[in-house]
Amino acid sequence: MIEQPREFTIPAGRARMWRMQAGERVTITQTEGHQVGDFIAFNAADLTEFLSTSHTRSCLRTLRIGRGHSLYTNRREPIVEIVEDTVGIHDILAAACDPYRYQRDFGVEDHRSCRMNFVEALAELDIPDWRVPDPVNLFQNTPVQPDWSYSSAASVAKAGDYVTLLTRMDLIAACSACPQDLAPTNAGHLSDLRVRLH
Ligand SMILES: [Zn+2]
């Protein structure tokens, strides 16, 4: 197996995949700020078990995740725990951006998207787009209003802000530095994310 780099960059608008063992930590850091990172993870031993935002919501009974929260799989097992978080504003409501979002809402063909970024990054696993799980959208700002509606606002993350996840099982993870430049999500400017395994 190819030695996996312990530090690497997710280029703006692209995704990267990596493998981790239980007990390892990954820190995902802003370079310039306001950059959302869609995060997905699979049980490395069984790809039918994966990080699930719907199960995470059901297990935690909250719409807001941050330091101290475990995130759960579709079998209600903790897969990662947020052990450090300098932002505290993330999203477990929204779907990944996909070609339909850019076509239907913005009339743009062939825009990069988090969903297709994951298909690209996970090519060795041969996962079709419809099997990509809904991601945990790190650093994404989705304020929920008193009338239960929610909006899509610019990420409040600043340069140097980070999240550290402790893994609870051997996993295959991927993160997409969201290419959304037509909605407020990334404050109109795409930037790289840095990943460090430790
Ligand atoms: Zn996206």
Residue 164 lies in a domain: yes
Residue 33 lies in a domain: yes
Residue 190 lies in a domain: yes
Cα Rg, the chain, nearest whole Å: 15
One-letter amino acid for residue 37 of the chain: G
Residue 22 lies in a domain: yes
**92-121, pLDDT tens digit by residue?**
999 999 999 999 999 999 999 999 999 999
Residue pair 60/68 in contact by the 8 Å Cβ criterion? no
pLDDT at 3 over 90: no
**141-159, pLDDT tens digit by residue?**
999 999 999 999 999 999 9
Ligand 1 geometric centre to CA of 160 (Å): 20
How many folded domains does the chain comprise? Answer: 1
Ligand 1 geometric centre to CA of 178 (Å): 4
Ligand 1 geometric centre to CA of 95 (Å): 8
For residue 1, what pLDDT band results from cuts at 50, 70 and 90? low
Ligand 1 geometric centre to CA of 137 (Å): 8
Which residues, listed in sequence order, are joined to residue 70 by a DSSP beta bridge?
81
Ligand 1 geometric centre to CA of 121 (Å): 14
What is the value of pTM for the model shown? 0.97
Residue pair 147/139 in contact by the 8 Å Cβ criterion? no
Residue 3 lies in a domain: no
Residue 50 lies in a domain: yes
pLDDT at 2 over 70: no
Give SS3 for 3.
coil
Domain that holds residue 58: 18-197
Residue 5 lies in a domain: no
Least confident range of 2-11, 24-33, 82-91: 2-11
Residue 11 lies in a domain: no
